[in-house]
Structure 1
Amino acid sequence: MSVAMSLGTDQILAAAEAYAVELAAKAESLDRGAVFDKEILDEGAALGFVKLIFDENLNLDLSRMPLVHDITERIASVYPPVAMELGVMRLVSYLLARYARPAVKDRWLRATIEGQAYGSFALTEPHAGTDLRGMSTVARRDGDNYILTGEKCWVGFAPVASYAIVLSKLESSERDAPTIALVVDMSSTGAVGETGPELSGFRGLSNGVLRFENVVVPAANALQVDGFAGMMDGLNMARIDAASYACGLLRAALEVSVERAATRTAFGKRIGDLPSIQIKLGRMRAAYHTARELAMRATETYMEGNGGDQDIISIAKMTASDLAREHTDQAMQIFGASGLIAYSRVERLHRDAKATQIFDGTSEIHETMLGRRLVNAFSKDGHGGSYMPSWSINQPADNITGA
């Protein structure tokens, strides 16, 4: 039984707090060196932060996803790369548990959630980012195997992955070709993981490129789901995590800004006594609570199964990341010239927040998807009401819900 399984919620949160404090002490040096810290990641796995979505028998149990958010937010508030790495470990574990055949699951699931193996979630390609249908990776059937050829980029754990869950077209590179998701052993001939370009934000994240040249993958390694549908299920989990990272950045921005406002003096008084600073802090607090509530709502829909409510998840991811970008910028403004110091906490928050607007679907694609569904719903039913909150003025307050 994992540490997480044997502890109550308060104890798990206390363990996460101690972990975050330890991580905070290393954050600047890790960011400066863009270092992948396997030791501290393995510690997070040992504490059970990946196992939280499983019961004691390693069956999926999403009831603790709100707790996952709280832990993810806290870790992201001090050093987002580790929060993301733990998130990728949960994501691939989820896909294995839900869709992999028993032999594949037996090989990789326990090893992943205990930090003994790293798995990559491979979607994006050099010339097909948001436009996944434009990908060119292809798997062709050859007897009891698939032959996989292609390239994926911006892939978590790519340089150190033991295996990768790879979205591929089947038999053809045509835009509308059917898709498949394959669990690829990265020790296979023709499979290579490489370190990618150095990033300005989320420095220290293990990220890079996967290349596949006629890699033989057993047919039994295919996930038992349409490739695109299964990976979108996983992507929805990743987007909820992305909202959690943004919440952590907002939380950190608020913490450092309040301290600065209360302790920094100018013209004989605290800068926090200036209305202009108070307005920034007030809006920052509102932004944090807004982002957190949306992230929790997205989490609740995912707990209900079927990949969650895609609209609520998009709203949460887009809003939280955009607010994180806006208010880490305001935090830098509150710090003035001190906020520009390279590798300082405020400067790191500013860089990391920008990244949340790009990965797991840019803010632009989320707003586009939301807008398109509204127009399509209106065309279908004449008012688009299925995408609006549903309530009645005659309902008691505790029965009013935003569907």
Structure 2
Amino acid sequence: MGYFKDTFRGISWMALLRGSTRGMTILKTVILARILSPSQFGVYGIAVLVLGLLEILTETGINIVLIQKEGKTDEYISTAWVVSILRGILISVLILIIAPFMASFFNSPNALDLIRFAALIPSVRGFINPSIVKFQKELAFNKEFWFRSVIFLVDTSFAIALGILTKSEYALIWGMFIAAIFEVAISFFVAKPRPSLEFDSTKVKKVIGRGKWITFAGTFEYLFQHIDDIAVGKILGTGPLGLYQQAYRVSTLPISEVGEVFNKVTFPTYSKISEDRDRLRRAFLRVTAVILLFVIPFGLILFFFAKEVILILLGEKWLGAVGALKVLAIFGILKSISNSAYSLFLSVRKQEIVTLITLVGILSMAIPLVPLINRFGIVGAGYATIIGAAAGLPVVFYHLAKVFKNEKV
């Protein structure tokens, strides 16, 4: 029962964290949606798409591996930090190189300088102390709460203040940039040990060897989450992209966030009991039932009261997002089911299963995506996400059964 109590204590802290951070996100969205246009949010969305893609493509999986690794991980911290710094610089350089091509691809000249500005963020984030991963590994979610909450507060405060003053989409990137600087600074005060510029190639090979499936899974998950954004931006333009992304954010705030709270806590807990498959099965079923108990009512509220939610949160100029919000509410429910299994697969070191599930989802969504967008606009993109999420569920259930039977997968 010890780990179960730790899990629900952690869930309480993480629920408080996600509630407070998403509350700040809603506040930022509510205020800036009345200042900025859907097209401005679309331009910002393009910059974030480019930033996110490069971050995922170069993901090493070090943090996940450090949580999975039994015993102390202090000897890996300095090497992890050097890798993180080099990765951050690489991402920044790559973004600067591809920025003109991405602006041209989306036919959005206004996005070029914003993408270049966003390129600064990875170089800063690369200097974050990797020791903060110990908050999750040691189930110290109270520390995780204060650390993340303060960073979100900095981001939100600067973005809102600059948005009011400048009425520009640059305010959103400024918030991220200043928050990244702040995160680096406080990571060295709240987490020990502090890293040094030491590099051990043997440790790098060991970590990256185990982390490669996490990299692949992260890349496929990013594409699954954003290939619809890319298609909407390319086919329909920045205005519809802004509408669609806001509908996606509103739909995922209450739905996926519930799952994220549980998944972030259950991953280290599942890792500790991964050898006892019967206990692992009971814990997983119990957690998944609780997730669905929260997620399904939220999804139904968003589906039946989409117009009212949009009017309250975003205002009249965002009513074009109502149809997409209804469809994405259904997607959120389906995705929360598969997401609940991801932390379990990672805990038993079956990263390749997560990669497979996500790949099935991407292919199933990508095939009908363009025809559906051409026929139904941003609502069609939502239909494609439902198809992708539903297609991955049989793969999830099949591999869950094999894990619980302790069979090779």
- TM-score, normalisation: structure 2: 0.34
Greater Rg, structure 1 or structure 2?
A: 1
Q: Which has the higher helix share?
A: 2
The one of the two structures with greater contact order (alpha-carbon pairs below 8 A, sep at least 6) is 2
